Amino acid sequence: GESVGLHLPTLSVQEGDNSIINCAYSNSASDYFIWYKQESGKGPQFIIDIRSNMDKRQGQRVTVLLNKTVKHLSLQIAATQPGDSAVYFCAENISGGSYIPTFGRGTSLIVHP
């Protein structure tokens, strides 16, 4: 969830563990969601997307789950590696428009070797 001030929500895991990053979205009209990864000093990088007609989508080592009833997304990363350390953002869109996403505040994932 959100936290006040400059402190991002943080998830610390051990290398090899599975990570689950959660996101609550605000607009019930949003029907397309994207997860981005932002490493230090870089721009956000696309990880995976999901449309509202699905509740689960899998990629390489990542799975996104969507619960429209409670407006909640999660990103699961299997066998987390040190290279997964980054800030993860969920972004919500209303499709059929100009694909202008609204980004959440982000969660910092720290993977300990």
Partner 1 sequence: ETGVTQSPTHLIKTRGQQVTLRCSSQSGHNTVSWYQQALGQGPQFIFQYYREEENGRGNFPPRFSGLQFPNYSSELNVNALELDDSALYLCASRPTGSNTGELFFGEGSRLTVL
Q: Which of residues 21, 80, 84, 106 is near partner 1 by CB under 8 A? A: 106
* C-alpha torsion sign, points 61, 1, 6, 111: negative
* C-alpha torsion sign, points 41, 64, 101, 92: negative
Q: Could you tell me the smallest distance in angstroms from the CB atom of residue 65 to partner 1?
A: 18
Q: Does 8 bind partner 1 (CB under 8 A)?
A: yes
Binding letters toward partner 1, positions 10-49, x by CB under 8 A: ----------------------x-x------xxxxxx--x
Quote the CA–CA distance of 103 and 66 in Å, as a whole number: 16
Q: Which is nearer to partner 1, 67 or 99 (CB)?
A: 99
Binding letters toward partner 1, positions 48-87, x by CB under 8 A: -x--------------------------------------
> Do 10 and 107 touch, CB atoms closer than 8 A?
yes
Quote the CA–CA distance of 45 and 49 in Å, as a whole number: 12
